[in-house]
Amino acid sequence: MSLIDFAKTPVTEIFGTNCFSNAVMKERLPKNIYKEILAVQAGEKELTLAIAEVVAAVMRDWAIEKGASHYTHLFQPLTGLTAEKHDAFIAPTGDGKVLMEFSGKELIKGEPDASSFPSGGLRATFEARGYTAWDVTSPAFLKQDPTGTTLCIPTAFISYYGQALDKKVPLLKSIDALSREAIRVLRTLGNETSRRVFTTVGPEQEYFLVDKELYDKRPDLMLTGRTIFGVLPAKGQEMEDHYFGAIKERVAAFMRELNTELWKVGIPAKTQHNEVAPNQFELAPIYLNSSAAVDSNQLVMETLRNVARRHGMECLLHEKPFAGVNGSGKHNNWSMATDDGINLFDPGENPESNARFLLFAAAVVEAVDRYALLIRGSVATSGNDHRLGANEAPPAIVSIFFGGPLTEIFDNIAEGKTSGKSEAGGTIKIGVSSLPSLPKDVSDRNRTSPFAFTGNKFEFRMVGSSQSIATPNTFLNVAVAQVLSEFADKLEKTSNKNEAVQAIIKESYAKHKRVVFNGNGYTDEWVREAERRGLPNVKNAVDSLSILTRSETVSLFENHKVLTKEELESRYHIYLEKYSKQINIEAGVAIELARRTVFPAAIAYASKLATDASALAAIGAVSTAPEKRAKRIAEICSELYDDTSKLETVLSEAQETGDVLAQAKAYFEKVQPAMKTVRTKVDALEKIVAKEAWPFPGYEELLFKL
């Protein structure tokens, strides 16, 4: 491995070299065209073919200068992965030679066909064509592998009839909706200058690294992303010596290369550290607008995997690769900012900005309370079911953490107190024009809350580590857009804005403060308290997905033109199917491994013990120990045999269930418990079969070797 010498090639020079950023466009495009692009990015204009032609030519030259031979429209189908189809730039000249071409039409619209992606009934195959259109809010970039370079164009993916077949189209629409309503509110507050509101997102990505050689010996990890079997070694994470510990050299080398790769494509990877579980790590980038953040997080996940392999490791992004130690999440830091640089969740320094902050924060409280099920549903995956509520991640109850001082301010407003002593110091006068300036960091630390206010942003902590952040952000944006539109309706009707703002905050907070909880979210008391408060606690993905097709959800999404009833139904369908498929694979792997790997290995070991016992007896060294152990193993093996058959039976019943919902339920209610029983037996065997005789590497190696 060679030294990455940042003295020779400074980070400032590496950063963005492979990104067709605004800086590159500004430098290379004619001034008027660049201005047009800015207007398109701001949502003020549509991209015309004439402009696309100019941009395409410049983009092509830039990419070819850097060694690209192909281009691809990157899109996010509903599988949650990123999809790409590559085309070479070549165009024949008619005399047996080629030119490198790339037209405006090819830039703004591609036709990947892609009829094999799940559409949940939105396309019949005879009209299976899907179209991709360049998303100007997320920059194009170059992907490099050891032998070549490809120009990647982030795109939205729609059907022939304009229905969203991906996760990007609804996200962009949700940003529009939120912007529209937020601007309405801002206007009533006297803001005449901001033209657009953006959501900003910084996703903190957690992941595990395992040695590649060990990984290759674990079919469960290879096929399902998690260990289906395995027992915790004598040492787990209880010493808490991994969290923020010194980073091992091998991992540091990986991280250095990872950062360099990410910086090249313009992803501002910023923070990296060891996480709580052994061999668990985190990467946090500086936040971007949410469209670019979604794309770059997809690229971060892909780069993590690729770079890990170059270092003889495998990166695990599953929410719960190992039982008994922490799983991985993706804290979705979310905020709202105007195009002229105002963070709407910044408490600010004067009465006006405080009033604005309190109003927008109140809107989030109301949205999170009213749409808790939707927010919960946005993170409903089979992987996340292992993590939520398992005392390492927030429970499945959606609540907001505000911290003492801010909660007190809101409580006072809700109770109609005109003044009061705040914990933050100073006396509060509640009249909007005389609100106190809030201290900069009003939030103390609370790691157990699913939705925490952290200074000038909200940190949504329920998102799973492997999932695309598109849907959680889309749902969040729509929920907040709805509340803001109701606030705007009220504000637009009155002339006394100060009084109205105060009344709205008061009424809204009084009604929705039940969702604010500053205590320890991991405790059983909270579960009981939340129930008393009437907060939903939907513990599994199948039940929580049902919110997608409820009539109130449909009207919410149709109201804001983000998703239609049909599109919501298709998503419900696809997510349930994905849930079933995942567990189907896991159960298949469990059966296969239990029968064909664990069982033979355990029986072979038991008969070796029996042979040992007779050999010992032959020399007069009588010991019943090997015999006893052999018997115990044989007993467990016979239970394992039966339990595996039972799993097989419920699995084939689930496979034959026709209706998607009934099928997902069968996987959840029957297959999963049967899998757990099989695991108990396999894990019991692992504890008594000799290490050398065990057919695959255990947790000890997987979690501690690097």
Binding site for ligand ADP (CB under 6 A): 200-202, 204, 271, 284-287, 333-335, 343, 454, 456-457
Q: Which does 200 bind (CB under 5 to 8 A by kind): ligand ADP, Mg ion, none?
A: ligand ADP
Whichever of 287 and 557 has its CB closer to ligand ADP, that residue is 287
Whether 704 and 245 have beta carbons less than 8 Å apart is answered as no
CB-based burial of residue 519 (10 Å sphere; 0-12 exposed, 13-18 middle, 19+ buried)? middle
> Closest separation between CB of residue 150 and Mg ion, Å?
33
> Closest separation between CB of residue 498 and ligand ADP, Å?
27
Q: Which does 201 bind (CB under 5 to 8 A by kind): ligand ADP, Mg ion, none?
A: ligand ADP
Distance in angstroms (rounded) separating the CA atoms of residues 640 and 598: 10
Distance in angstroms (rounded) separating the CA atoms of residues 218 and 638: 24
DSSP 127: G
Whichever of 334 and 575 has its CB closer to ligand ADP, that residue is 334
Whichever of 260 and 289 has its CB closer to ligand ADP, that residue is 289
> Closest separation between CB of residue 223 and Mg ion, Å?
32
Long-range residue pairs from 527-536, CB within 8 A, at least 24 positions apart, any chain: 527/395, 527/397, 530/395, 530/397, 530/399, 535/372, 535/397, 535/398, 535/399, 536/372, 536/373, 536/376, 536/397, 536/398
Distance in angstroms (rounded) separating the CA atoms of residues 170 and 153: 18
Whichever of 430 and 442 has its CB closer to Mg ion, that residue is 442
Q: Which does 607 bind (CB under 5 to 8 A by kind): Mg ion, ligand ADP, none?
A: none
Whichever of 293 and 535 has its CB closer to ligand ADP, that residue is 293
Q: Is 513 in the site for Mg ion (CB under 5 A)?
A: no
Q: Map tokens 């109205």 to a residue.
A: 500
Whichever of 373 and 375 has its CB closer to Mg ion, that residue is 375
Pure H helices in 112-234: 168-188, 212-215, 219-224
Whether 467 and 381 have beta carbons less than 8 Å apart is answered as yes
Whichever of 454 and 482 has its CB closer to Mg ion, that residue is 454
> Closest separation between CB of residue 335 and Mg ion, Å?
13
Q: Which does 73 bind (CB under 5 to 8 A by kind): Mg ion, ligand ADP, none?
A: none
405: number of CA atoms within 13 Å, CB side?
A: 21
Question: Could you tell me the two tokens for 591?
Answer: 């059966």
Whichever of 442 and 633 has its CB closer to ligand ADP, that residue is 442
DSSP 397: B
> Closest separation between CB of residue 217 and ligand ADP, Å?
35
Q: Is 331 in the site for Mg ion (CB under 5 A)?
A: yes
Q: Which does 335 bind (CB under 5 to 8 A by kind): Mg ion, ligand ADP, none?
A: ligand ADP
CB-based burial of residue 522 (10 Å sphere; 0-12 exposed, 13-18 middle, 19+ buried)? middle
Question: Could you tell me the two tokens for 109?
Answer: 């619209």
> Closest separation between CB of residue 456 and ligand ADP, Å?
5
Distance in angstroms (rounded) separating the CA atoms of residues 422 and 426: 6
Distance in angstroms (rounded) separating the CA atoms of residues 360 and 366: 10
> Closest separation between CB of residue 493 and ligand ADP, Å?
31
Kindly indicate which of the ranges 323-331, 410-418, 583-591, 649-657 contains the residues binding Mg ion, using the contact rule CB under 5 A: 323-331
Q: Which does 433 bind (CB under 5 to 8 A by kind): ligand ADP, Mg ion, none?
A: none
Phi/psi at 159 (nearest 5 deg)?
Answer: -85, 175
Question: Could you tell me the two tokens for 224?
Answer: 């399902």
Whichever of 106 and 206 has its CB closer to Mg ion, that residue is 206
Q: SS3 for 516?
A: strand
The candidate with the shortest Cα–Cα distance to 549, out of 162, 249, 176, 120, is 120
Of all residues in this chain, which one has the CB nearest to ligand ADP in the complex?
Answer: 202
Calculate the CA dihedral of residues 74, 75, 81, 86 and round it to 10 degrees.
Answer: -40
> Closest separation between CB of residue 468 and Mg ion, Å?
19
Of all residues in this chain, which one has the CB nearest to Mg ion in the complex?
Answer: 331
Whichever of 140 and 300 has its CB closer to ligand ADP, that residue is 300
Kindly indicate which of the ranges 163-171, 303-311, 325-333, 399-407 contains the residues binding Mg ion, using the contact rule CB under 5 A: 325-333
Whether 509 and 414 have beta carbons less than 8 Å apart is answered as yes
> Closest separation between CB of residue 408 and ligand ADP, Å?
21
Query: E-strand spans in 391-533?
Result: 400-401, 419-421, 427-429, 451-453, 458-460
Site size toward Mg ion (CB under 5 A) is 1
Task: Tell me the Ramachandran region of residue 393: left when phi exceeds 0, alpha when psi lies from -120 to 50, beta otherwise.
Answer: beta
Interior/surface letters 184-218, b for 16+ CB within 10 angstroms, e for the rest:
bbbebbebeebebbbbbbbbbbbbbbbbeebbeeb
Kindly indicate which of the ranges 139-147, 235-243, 328-336, 416-424 contains the residues binding Mg ion, using the contact rule CB under 5 A: 328-336
> Closest separation between CB of residue 236 and Mg ion, Å?
23
Whichever of 333 and 540 has its CB closer to ligand ADP, that residue is 333
Q: Map tokens 């009981």 to a residue.
A: 528
Distance in angstroms (rounded) separating the CA atoms of residues 703 and 322: 9
Whichever of 71 and 345 has its CB closer to Mg ion, that residue is 345
Whichever of 331 and 370 has its CB closer to Mg ion, that residue is 331
Q: Which does 557 bind (CB under 5 to 8 A by kind): Mg ion, ligand ADP, none?
A: none
> Closest separation between CB of residue 441 and ligand ADP, Å?
10
Q: Is 457 in the site for Mg ion (CB under 5 A)?
A: no
The candidate with the shortest Cα–Cα distance to 106, out of 138, 59, 68, 62, is 59
Whichever of 293 and 397 has its CB closer to ligand ADP, that residue is 293
Whether 177 and 308 have beta carbons less than 8 Å apart is answered as no
What is the longest distance spanned by two Cα atoms in the chain?
103
> Closest separation between CB of residue 301 and ligand ADP, Å?
15
> Closest separation between CB of residue 428 and ligand ADP, Å?
25
The candidate with the shortest Cα–Cα distance to 312, out of 208, 214, 224, is 214
First to last CA, the chain: 16
> Closest separation between CB of residue 203 and ligand ADP, Å?
7
Q: Which does 287 bind (CB under 5 to 8 A by kind): ligand ADP, Mg ion, none?
A: ligand ADP
> Closest separation between CB of residue 452 and Mg ion, Å?
8
Whichever of 29 and 172 has its CB closer to ligand ADP, that residue is 172
Distance in angstroms (rounded) separating the CA atoms of residues 154 and 157: 10
> Closest separation between CB of residue 267 and ligand ADP, Å?
11
Distance in angstroms (rounded) separating the CA atoms of residues 537 and 530: 8
Distance in angstroms (rounded) separating the CA atoms of residues 667 and 650: 8
Kindly indicate which of the ranges 175-183, 330-338, 464-472, 481-489 contains the residues binding Mg ion, using the contact rule CB under 5 A: 330-338
DSSP 420: E
Whichever of 447 and 581 has its CB closer to ligand ADP, that residue is 447
Q: Which does 457 bind (CB under 5 to 8 A by kind): ligand ADP, Mg ion, none?
A: ligand ADP
Residues found near Mg ion in the complex (CB under 5 A): 331
